[in-house]
Amino acid sequence: MSAVDQNSQDSTAFISTEKHDYPELRDAVKRICADYPSEYWRKLDDTSSYPTEFVKALTDAGFLGALIPEEYGGSGMNLRAAAVILEEINASGCVASPAHAQMYIMGTLLRHGSEAQKQKYLPKIASGELRLQAFGVTEPSTGSDTTKLKTRAERRGDVYVVNGQKVWTSRALYSDLMLLLVRTTPIEQCKKKTDGLSTLLVDLREAKGKGLDIRPIDAMINHNTTEIFIENLEVPVENLIGEEGKGFKYILDGMNAERILVAQECIGDGRWLLKKAVEYANDRVVFGRSIGQNQGIQFPLARAYMELEAAELMSRKAAAMFEKGLPCGEEANMAKLMASEATWKAAEGAMLVHGGFGFAKEYGIERKWREARIYQTAPISTNMILSYIGEHVLGMARSY
């Protein structure tokens, strides 16, 4: 399907009564996902492995280049269409997170990279020749307090010499490139704490073993996440994205798109969990009747459904505003928070309904339940969104 077809839909589609927009796109995603059943994901989960074949299939179909403009070899879709791809992957029982970051990390390069950088990288990212799946922001000692991050890049001639440490850098072992947020001017020398940070595009293929060491983290979900130790790593100055010292602004610019994509991906998990819960509730007979006949089973699922629908509306609204170039920080953040909580209700509902069988790996419920918890923590935690709404939307005093 061409980009023109994808974009022909009115971006105010969030007010339409259509249950699932972009039906052809959804069908195309579902067809790929059908080749990757629950068993495939269970094996990867058991061995903490990366779904290389699945990510390749998505790339070959043009889905991971969804947001790359056609002039750079991408599919040139709008944000809502890209969000629908991630939703449908998860709603099919597959896992979008091994590939989702490429969609939003690429945005920093697209919006702030030089023409030469875009020509060099974007066509190869769109074709799958290069993977841009890693985004190094979080650090062990500073966490959510991003502007205090300690990874330092000092310019020496044609290179930046980088020293520091990142944590929870997902997919770094399965990516060719990493977008790295570093401090180029010490915070004491900056007027604002948000100044003096810069974004570097690190070629992991060259960096590994030459100042960069990546170690996997054994985590609750199979997110292929890592910690990264950086010692005297040399990054060519030509790999600086945009202007030195403006990196924090560039990262913030991409946040709304990231929130909207993640919200919709999360809703996909919620839909899958709810569907499985309802099927099981209707099939499982205990005390001579289906368990779904009991209101104690029905009500939590009905509530999760309603909250998912509300999150979906907010997510559509945020995407429509984004596409019109309107400020949408409020809507994007609310969509992400609402989606994370609605999906968690669906996950809890699915565990409730499945009883003991919810714990059996064969059913896939416990895996999705674990995976559904991440949205309350990453890429931004619930409390940070609540304080954003409290301060920037409702106008109360800053708490940090």
Ligand X SMILES: Cc1cc2nc3c(=O)[nH]c(=O)nc-3n(C[C@H](O)[C@H](O)[C@H](O)COP(=O)(O)OP(=O)(O)OC[C@H]3O[C@@H](n4cnc5c(N)ncnc54)[C@H](O)[C@@H]3O)c2cc1C
Q: Which residues bind ligand X (CB under 6 A)?
A: 135-138, 143-144, 168-170, 219, 223, 225, 374, 377-381, 383-384, 387, 399-400
Nearest to 113 by CA among 262, 228, 253: 253
Q: Distance between CA 154 and CA 161 in Å, rounded? A: 5
- Which CB, 6 or 108, lies closer to ligand X? 108
**What letters, b where the CB count within 10 A reaches 16 and e where it falls short, cover 249-280?**
ebbeebbbbbbbbbbbbbbbbbbbbbebbbeb
| DSSP character at residue 102 | H
Q: How far is the CB of 287 from ligand X (least distance, A)?
A: 40
Q: How far is the CB of 374 from ligand X (least distance, A)?
A: 5
Q: How far is the CB of 145 from ligand X (least distance, A)?
A: 7
Q: Distance between CA 206 and CA 224 in Å, rounded? A: 20
- Which CB, 36 or 135, lies closer to ligand X? 135
Encoded amino acid at 99, one letter: A
Long-range CB pairs of 57-61 (<8 Å, 24+ gap) are 57/32, 58/32, 58/89, 58/99, 59/99, 59/127, 59/128, 60/128, 61/28, 61/32
Asked if residues 251 and 199 have their Cβ atoms less than 8 Å apart, the reply is yes
Q: How far is the CB of 98 from ligand X (least distance, A)?
A: 11
Q: How far is the CB of 164 from ligand X (least distance, A)?
A: 13
Q: Distance between CA 193 and CA 59 in Å, rounded? A: 38
Reading the block at residue 165, the tokens are 């440490």
- Which CB, 75 or 343, lies closer to ligand X? 343
Q: How far is the CB of 383 from ligand X (least distance, A)?
A: 3
- Which CB, 159 or 389, lies closer to ligand X? 389
Q: Which residue is nearest to ligand X (CB)?
A: 143
- Which CB, 265 or 312, lies closer to ligand X? 265
- Which CB, 62 or 379, lies closer to ligand X? 379
Reading the block at residue 65, the tokens are 């280049």
